[in-house]
A and B are shown apart, each in its own frame.
Chain A
């Protein structure tokens, strides 16, 4: 441990393993509250509103009307799905920041099937083919960096990052190929009259068109939790993440686990792309994902890779997005205000992890070394 120096520093830092779950949650809650207070102060300075009005109108922006509430829940589901998709890769210490591209490729595959096969297949079969195409496309987009990582240890952070832009340009390419009407520069609503390939509504009530997305997100959350914590494959992911050498020693085929996990990761991203196109927008644009592939990285990490905590993390981010957007527009300011607030909150939560993992020990004068 610490050496006995003549001039000892005022304090030193030691790792701690004894923090209880409750206390760890408490530290995070304090961090979020502190961040929200800082956000309120910044909002006050820029808009001149008092903090209660700020959070009041933020709540109004996210849950002000029944429709707004449904959209908030739907957007939370999408962000949650992408975060869930990235999680198995992160648990394996594979930094998949290519969620953006994997979702886009899934969306691209969905639109391709939706446009080209709509006249040839009955609707249920069409939707099934769209789903399979999206999942496969996303999966393959995820597997490409995994193969290089498994074989030659290519840096996956940079690889998946580049794949995002290749996917974006591919989408841009096909948008012009499929543009309708010619020269519009966009695809427009796909199959507007026949509604072929559109995901069906569940039931017939106010929020029925949002239900399917939410349902899939809930199901995926439970499935991902079970997969990560109660399956053999989930355990293998965990071992590879902790130590590749240990994994090899106990006979896990590390390359195979990496490729398999990234296929799952990409496939769920592809599924999200499928929902975005077939269930929500019925069209494809290059900004379809809107940076959520990156936001999801933070959501997954903030939740410490726990699928259930991810629900709250995505809700917090979407709440800020909707709420701050509302505050900014009502004051005639730019909506990007929400990104500033999101950034601040994430900085605080990232920072507070330190106090969960480490403790600061103040050295008493003439104390020998650290107190263990």
Chain B
């Protein structure tokens, strides 16, 4: 039998990047933008955070060399900046990606699929390039990127995780960004479902022409939703590298999680609150093969288990389209550019 106390925390940490990615993509898709660039955005978010943190750590190191340990800068500002700098650089990097996407698809009305795929090519390349070349480019004297100073703040577990037994392991043993992801998902769900802004956003995604004639600024909503969505997704990349990977960057380690996040959007039928559980489920499916009893002679079945998340998503996609219930459909204008003068 699977040991749940060790399985659930592993599923959760796998699920958090997916939760960020899917929440970001849901917010984006609600505005009618099908952003296939999310995998790229998550890479850019991760590497931007790493670049910020890396330069910061190098600066701290050279500062430490000339000052004593009890210096106020080191004791007061370094912990604060260790969190702020990676976080802000991650948000900035993802925001720029969001702006590129919006400028091309909303302002210049380019094809969303092509733009998204180009963003993924660009973003993954950007991540791998800087991940592998950062040390050489910055001229630092270290063998590999290992962000120990900053990442320890991101992977800080709750204080009572160790003392409360299995309960603590399952609920308290995560870094701050993990809890934040759940807050973001709940907030997104409430804003989309219950507020006026959310209503407007859904109107833009369902029928931009109707929204436009009702006086809603379609362009603003599309830009806003996509950029915020990208920033949320970028945090998923940051969580992965700073908490899950404890500040160690390795190329292509993030893998196809970005696409899995897009799959989750369909799986949760465009509901961020559902995505909290679905992400953990997908996270579990992603690593399930490690926990199932394996026969050394038949290692190949591991590969089939890895297929499960995608098959499950396909089944959901097919069922929702067959049942054709109105509330379970993708936003009606998903993937289509809006041009006021076009009928």
A contacts, CB < 8 Å to B: 1-2, 13-15, 46, 95, 97, 148, 152-155, 157-159, 161-166, 169-170, 172-174, 176-177, 291, 294-295, 297-298, 301, 328, 332-334, 336-340, 342-344, 346-347, 350-351, 353-354, 357-358
Contact = CB atoms under 8 A, between A and B. Distances in A.
Which among B120, B259, B306, B307 has the greatest number of chain A C-beta atoms within 10 A? B307
B314 A162 contact: yes
Which of B100, B310, B311 lies at the interface centre, i.e. has the most chain A CB atoms within 10 A of its CB? Answer: B310
Contacts of B133: 46, 328, 332-334, 337
Q: Is the interface of A mostly helix, strand, loop or mixed?
A: helix
B328 interface: no
A351 B110 contact: yes
Contact of A295 (B121, B304, B318, B321): B121
Nearest to A355: B108
B121 A158 contact: no
A159 B113 contact: no
B117 interface: yes
Contacts of A343: 118-119, 121-123, 125-126
Nearest to B314: A162
Nearest to A334: B132
Nearest to A174: B300
Interface string B204-244: 00000000000000000000000000000000000000000
Contact of A340 (B100, B129, B299, B321): B129
Contact of A155 (B132, B299, B321): B321
B151 interface: no
B115 interface: yes
Contacts of B182: none
Contacts of A155: 266, 317, 321, 330, 334
A119 B259 CA distance: 41
B301 to A, nearest CB: 8
B125 A339 contact: yes
Contact of A353 (B110, B136, B310): B110
Nearest to B131: A334
Interface in B91-109: 100, 103-104, 108-109
A194 to B, nearest CB: 26
Contacts of B301: 173
Contacts of B262: 158, 161
A172 B303 contact: yes
Contact of B104 (A2, A174, A339, A347): A347
Contact of A169 (B129, B304, B330): B304
Contacts of B137: 46, 333
Nearest to B334: A155
Interface residues of B, number: 58
A19 to B, nearest CB: 16
Which 8 pairs between the two chains have the least Cβ-Cβ distance?
A339-B125, A343-B122, A334-B132, A176-B300, A336-B128, A354-B108, A169-B307, A172-B303
A165 B262 CA distance: 13
Given A334-B131, A336-B125, A339-B125, A148 B100 contact: no
A292 to B, nearest CB: 11
Contact of A173 (B113, B131, B304): B304
Contacts of A161: 36, 259, 262-263
Given A158-B317, A176-B299, A347-B100, 8 more contacts: A95-B113, A162-B310, A169-B303, A297-B117, A334-B129, A336-B125, A343-B118, A347-B104
Interface string B175-214: 0000000000000000000000000000000000000000
B263 A162 contact: yes
Contact of A176 (B263, B303, B341): B303
Contact of B136 (A14, A172, A333): A333
Nearest to B120: A294
A261 to B, nearest CB: 17
B72 interface: no
B66 interface: no
A298 B341 CA distance: 27
15 contacts: A15-B342, A95-B335, A157-B113, A162-B263, A162-B311, A162-B313, A162-B314, A169-B310, A172-B303, A173-B303, A174-B300, A334-B129, A336-B126, A340-B126, A353-B110
